[in-house]
Structure 1
Amino acid sequence: MKTHKEVEKLLRTAEREQRCAIGDGGKLYHALRRRVQCGEVTSPYPNLFAAASYWTQLNLEQQSMHMIRALAKLHPKWIFTGLSAACVYQYDHAYTLHDGTVSIASTRGANKHDSKGLHRIYAPNNMKCYLYHGIPVTSPAHTLIDCATLPFDRALSIYDSALRCKHTTKIEVETLMLQSVCDEQAVKTLLRHANPLRENGGESWAYAHMMQLGYARPLFQVTFNNPDNPGAPYRVDFCWKLHDGQIIVVEYDGVAKYKDASHLDRASIKAKLEYERRRDRHLKEEGVTSVTHLFYEDVADLQRLDVVLSAAKVPKVR
C-alpha cells in the first residue's frame, strides 16, 4: 500500500514512546484501518494500532505494556489493576498469562459498550490510586489481592516479586484483604507460601508445583562454602536438611538449554556444564547428599516432577 506520511509519523512516534498509536477518529483512523485490512498494521484493541512488523517483535508482556501506556493516555481516569498493574510494577510473571486483555479497577461491572479486551475488576470508591512510571495503578497490596484470581502456581511469582521489591508486606495485604470483596482463601494461601527469598518467577513456579504434589517446604538460598572464591559462597535454590543428616539440594535451571550440541556457542555451553559439575562436587564436599537439577520440562509436567523429586528422596508431608 502507498506510504502515508502521517500514518508513518504516528506509528514511529508511538514506537519511540513504547506504546500503541492512537487513532484520531478521522481520516488518519480510516487510513490505519485500511492498513489493518491489508496486514501492514495490527489493532490489538479498539482505536489502538501498531505496525505489524514491529508488533510481532514484541513479547506478550511488552505488547500488554504498549496497550496499557496507550490506554492510560487515551483514558487518563482509568486505574489499572490485576495482571495489568503487576505488569506496570514489573513483577515476575509468566508471559502466557497475557491474553490480549487489560484489567482496570471499577466501581461497576462490564457494560455493552466495553471492548471484549477490557476486564473490569470491582473496587470501592475510596480506593487509593498510585502513579507508577506515570501510569495510574492500584496499590501493590490491592494489585496482589486482585491477582489472587490467577492460578496459584502463576500468582505466587507475582506475590514473591512484590515482597522481594519491598513494595508491600504480608500484613498490609492481609489487612486490605479483610476490608475487600475478594477470594480470601486464595489470598491467604498465597500469603502463606509467598517468600521474597525466591529470586525469580521460575523458582516460584517450581516451588508451587512442589507444594501441589505434597512435598515438604524447602529452605531457600542456603549458602555453602565456595573453595574457588570464599568471598562468594554458593547459594542453592531449594534445600532440605533431614533429621538423619542428609542434605538434599534441588536447583531450577529453567529451559533445557544444553540439548543442542550444534549450537554456535558450544564453548560457553561447555564452560557452563563444567562449572556446574565443579559446583555440584564442591557442594557434596560441604556435606550435601545429592544435587538434582530441574529443567522447565520437569516442572511443567507434574507427574514427571514427582518422579524426579521422589528419586532425589525429597520428603513428602502428605
Structure 2
Amino acid sequence: MKEHKRVTALLKTAEQERRCAIGDGGALYHALRRRVRSLEVVSPYPNLFARTEYWDTLNPEERSLHTIQALTMIHPRWTFAGLSAACVYRYQHSYSLHDGTVSIASSQGTGHGDTARLHRIYMHEIPRWKCRNIPVTSPARTLIDCAAIPFANALAIYDSALRSGHVTRAEVETLMIRVNCDEAAVKRLLHHANPLRENGGESWVYAHIVDLGYAEPLMQIEFVNLDNPNMPYRVDFCWKLADGRIIVAEYDGMAKYADAGNSGRVSLQAKLDYERRRERDLKMQGVTVVVHLFFEDVTHLERLEAKLTDAGVPKIR
C-alpha cells in the first residue's frame, strides 16, 4: 500500500514512546483501518494501532503495556487494576494470562458502550496510585484483585510484589477485611507467598507442587560448593524428611547457565560438567535424590506427579 506520511509519523512516534498509536477519528483513522485490513497494521484495542512488524517483536506483557500507555493518554481519569496494574508495577507473571483485555477500577460497574476488551473491577473506594506516571490501584488492592487469577499463576504475582518491597502481608490483610473480595483465595496466597523465590517460574512450580498435595518444600537451601566454598549451591526446592532423606528438585536446571548458542558464553559441555559436579557435591552432603523439572513437566501435571512420587516426595493430602 502507498506510504501515508502522517500514518508513518504517527506510528513511528508511538513506537519511540513505547505505546500504541491513537486514531484521530477522521481521515487518519480510516487510513489506519485500511492498513489493518491489508495486515500492515494491527489494532489490539479500539482506536489503537501499531505496525504489525513492530508488534510481532513484543512479548504479551509489552503489548499490554503499550495498550495501557495509550489508554492513559485517552482516559487520564482511568485507574488500571488487576493484572493491568500488576503489569505496570512489573510484577512477574505468566504471559499466558494476557488475552488482550485491559482492567480498570470502577465505582459504577459496567459503563455504557464499553468494548469487550475492557474489564471493570468494581470498587466502592478506588485507592489511586501512580507508577511510571500511570494511574493504578495500590499494591495491596492490586494483589487482592489478582487473587481472582488461578492460584498457580497468582502466586508469582504475590511473590514478586512482596520481593519488590511495594507491599507487606499486613497491608493486604488489613485491606482484605475492608473490601468485598475472595478472602479464602487471598489468605491462601498470603500463606504460601514467599519473596525468597527468585522468579515467577519457581513460584509457578511451587504452586503446582502444593496443589498436587505434596509436602511444602523448603526454599533457597544452600549447600557447600566443594570446588568453590565462596559460591555455595542454592537449590530451588528441598525436602528434609524425618527418616534422614534429603530430596532436591531443580526447575529447568540448564536455564541457570549461559546460553550455549552464544559463542561468548560457556559451552554446553561446560554446563553439563558443572551440573555433574553440582549433583556430586549435593550427594556428598547427604542429598539422596536430585530431580530435574522442566517446563513440559509442569504443564503436564501427570509428569510432575510421576517425577515427585518417584523421587519419594511425600504427599500430605
Shared fold (TM-score greater than 0.5)?
yes
Letter in 2 for 1:46: P
Aligned partner of 2:236 in structure 1 is: 237
Displacement of 1:106 in angstroms is 0.4
Aligned equivalents of 1:200, 1:54: Cα separation in 2: 28
Change over 3 Å in CA distance of 1:133–1:256 after alignment to 2:
closer
Aligned equivalents of 1:61, 1:31: Cα separation in 2: 27
Letter in 2 for 1:100: G
Aligned equivalents of 2:206, 2:71: Cα separation in 1: 35
Aligned equivalents of 1:285, 1:179: Cα separation in 2: 52
Contact 2:253 2:292 in 1 (8 A): no
Aligned equivalents of 2:266, 2:195: Cα separation in 1: 34
Letter in 2 for 1:283: L
Cα distance per residue 1:10-68 (max 9 Å; x no partner): 10000011100011122211111111111111111111000111111111111111000
Aligned partner of 1:59 in structure 2 is: 59
Contact 1:255 1:297 in 2 (8 A): no
Cα distance per residue 1:194-240 (max 9 Å; x no partner): 11111111111111111111101111001111122211111111011
Aligned equivalents of 2:80, 2:27: Cα separation in 1: 30
Aligned equivalents of 1:221, 1:264: Cα separation in 2: 28
Aligned equivalents of 2:256, 2:218: Cα separation in 1: 26
Is 2:171 the partner of 1:172? Answer: yes
Change over 3 Å in CA distance of 1:255–1:151 after alignment to 2:
farther
Contact 1:85 1:137 in 2 (8 A): yes
Is 2:245 the partner of 1:249? Answer: no
SS in 2 for 1:49: strand
Aligned equivalents of 1:177, 1:76: Cα separation in 2: 27
Structure 2 alignment gaps of length 5 or more? none
Aligned equivalents of 1:272, 1:130: Cα separation in 2: 45
Displacement of 1:128 in angstroms is 2.1
Contact 1:255 1:295 in 2 (8 A): no
Aligned partner of 2:46 in structure 1 is: 46
SS in 1 for 2:267: helix
SS in 2 for 1:297: helix
Aligned partner of 2:192 in structure 1 is: 193
Aligned partner of 1:315 in structure 2 is: 314
Aligned partner of 1:210 in structure 2 is: 209
Aligned equivalents of 1:124, 1:145: Cα separation in 2: 14
> Counterparts in 2 of 1:90-169, with a 5 A limit?
90-125=90-125, 127-169=126-168
Q: Number of residue pairs matched?
A: 314
Displacement of 1:267 in angstroms is 6.6
Please tell me the root mean square deviation across aligned C-alpha atoms, in Å: 1.9
Aligned equivalents of 2:301, 2:31: Cα separation in 1: 50
SS in 1 for 2:184: helix
Displacement of 1:268 in angstroms is 2.3
Aligned equivalents of 1:59, 1:159: Cα separation in 2: 21
Contact 2:79 2:105 in 1 (8 A): yes
Is 2:212 the partner of 1:227? Answer: no
Letter in 2 for 1:219: L
Instruction: Show structure 1 runs of 4+ deviating over 3 A.
Output: 254-258, 263-267
Letter in 1 for 2:187: K
Identity of matched residues, %? 65
SS in 2 for 1:250: strand
SS in 2 for 1:63: helix
Aligned equivalents of 1:105, 1:134: Cα separation in 2: 17
Structure 2-normalised TM-score?
Answer: 0.95
Aligned equivalents of 2:300, 2:138: Cα separation in 1: 34
Displacement of 1:264 in angstroms is 8.2
Contact 1:129 1:137 in 2 (8 A): yes
Contact 1:93 1:157 in 2 (8 A): yes
Displacement of 1:244 in angstroms is 1.5
Aligned equivalents of 2:213, 2:45: Cα separation in 1: 42
Aligned equivalents of 1:274, 1:295: Cα separation in 2: 19
SS in 1 for 2:271: helix
